[in-house]
Amino acid sequence: MGQKNNKKMETLKLKDNSAYRTSKDKVFLVGVIIVSIITISPIVLIIGKLVWEGIGQINFSFFTETTPSTFEAMTAVANNEVIPGGIVNGILGTLLIVGLASVIAIPIGILVGLFLYENQQSRYAGLIRSLSDILQGVPSIVLGLIAYLWVVKNIVHGYSALAGSVALAIMMLPLIIRSTEETMKMIPETLKEAALALGVPYYKVIARVLIPSGFSGLATGILLSVSRILGETAPLMLTTLGNPMVNWDITAPTSAVPLLIWNFYNDPNMLSLIWSSSLFLMGFVLTLNIISKRIVAKI
């Protein structure tokens, strides 16, 4: 196309094709708009489906009782009743696993981010930065395998919440490192220099100047990384296994909301619980997402 046009120009046989060109322009614009609308339609359809199918199951016992047995669910379905019980073991399990993962990943992530910020140019920091990029790309199921090999096989000798937390912590780590470094880069150098010029020891500069002034950036990074790991299923299948009871022991098998969804999906009697649990999970993840966006907007 480009070359043809050029040739035409050279021979100066210019025709007035502006009508063709403007209509082509219009058609392209309409195409872009239509395809964009198609692209975002799944999110509307997904949320719509979850609300439509799931809202009926969400009641008080959904948040206070553990999962019903297959038999209980079967009799309820046979009698056209709402399935009894809830997913409190999954909710508390998710909180335990994600909380533990955060306790592991957030301090290390922030420290590594500070290290990278302090040593921008050094070769070693470049290596760490690349490694953290590679870690970010590792599929979550591979992290599940790793946590299985490390924790399940060699430390706890059994499926455990801790193993799941390790897998999820490795997932969070690169996100927090990256967001900490980016946030620190945005803080004016002069703030830090002013503190150092007053003779403030370096750890106090970090605790009193860098972290407070970059707080919203750090919080956004943390919230986004938590919302990223909340819905992870695959690594938990290989590490925490699941548990029909509420469990607070980090060395015992534990359930999580995504794991319960997977169980419900495989059990024809529990079908209607799938949607309410997914709705809950989705609502949780999206709320975190939106809060973190709000924080960004406020800066």
Of positions 175, 195, 274, 295, contacts another protein by CB under 8 A = 274
Alpha carbon separation from 277 to 63, 117, 257, 270 (Å, rounded): 10, 41, 7, 11
Among 39, 79, 121, 190, interactor with another protein by CB under 8 A: 39
- SS3 at position 26: helix
Contacting range for another protein; rule: CB under 8 A; set: 56-64, 95-103, 122-130, 209-217: 122-130
- Name which position in 9, 70, 186, 202 contacts another protein (CB under 8 A): 202
Q: Which residue has the tokens 């957030």?
A: 106
Structure tokens at 43: 């999110």
Tokens of 6: 């050029």
Shortest separation between residue 68's beta carbon and another protein, angstroms: 19
- Give whole-number Cα distances, 268 to 26, 40, 64, 257, 273, in Å: 50, 31, 23, 18, 10
Residue 293 interacting with another protein (CB under 8 A): yes
| Closer Cβ to another protein, 85 or 242, answer by number | 242
Nearer to another protein by Cβ, of 75 and 156: the residue is: 156
- Is there binding between residue 212 and another protein (CB under 8 A)? no
Question: What does the radius of gyration of the chain's CA atoms come to, in whole angstroms?
Answer: 26
Choose one: 38-46, 87-95, 184-192, 245-253; the region binding another protein (CB under 8 A).
38-46
Nearer to another protein, 64 or 134 (CB): 134
Cα separation, 146 vs 177, in Å, equals 20
Residues 6+ apart with CB under 8 A from 51: 279
Q: Which is nearer to another protein, 137 or 188 (CB)?
A: 137
Q: How far is the CB of 248 from another protein (least distance, A)?
A: 24
Give whichever of 132 and 255 is closer to another protein, judged by the CB atom: 132
Is position 32 an interface residue for another protein (rule: CB under 8 A)?
Answer: yes
- 196 vs 245, which CB is nearer to another protein? 196
Binding of residue 140 to another protein (CB under 8 A): yes
Q: Which of residues 101-120 bind another protein (CB under 8 A)?
A: 108, 111-112, 114-116, 118
**Cα–Cα distances in angstroms (integers) from residue 299 to residues 106, 216, 244, 291, 295, in the given order:** 21, 7, 43, 13, 7
- Is residue 11 close enough to count as binding another protein by CB under 8 A? no
Residue selected from 213, 231, 246, 250 as contacting another protein according to rule CB under 8 A = 231
User: Rounded to whole angstroms, how far apart are CA atoms 212 and 299?
Assistant: 13
Q: Which is nearer to another protein, 118 or 267 (CB)?
A: 118
209 binds another protein (CB under 8 A): no
CB of 225 to another protein, least distance (A): 12
Contacts of 55 (CB under 8 A, 6+ apart): 276, 279
Closest approach, Cβ 202 to another protein, in A, equals 4
Between residue 178 and residue 197, which ones bind another protein under the rule CB under 8 A? Answer: none
Contact between 134 and another protein by CB under 8 A: the answer reads yes
173 neighbors 135 (Cβ within 8 angstroms): yes
- Which residues touch 167 (CB under 8 Å, ≥6 apart)? 140, 143, 144, 146, 147, 232, 235, 236, 238, 239
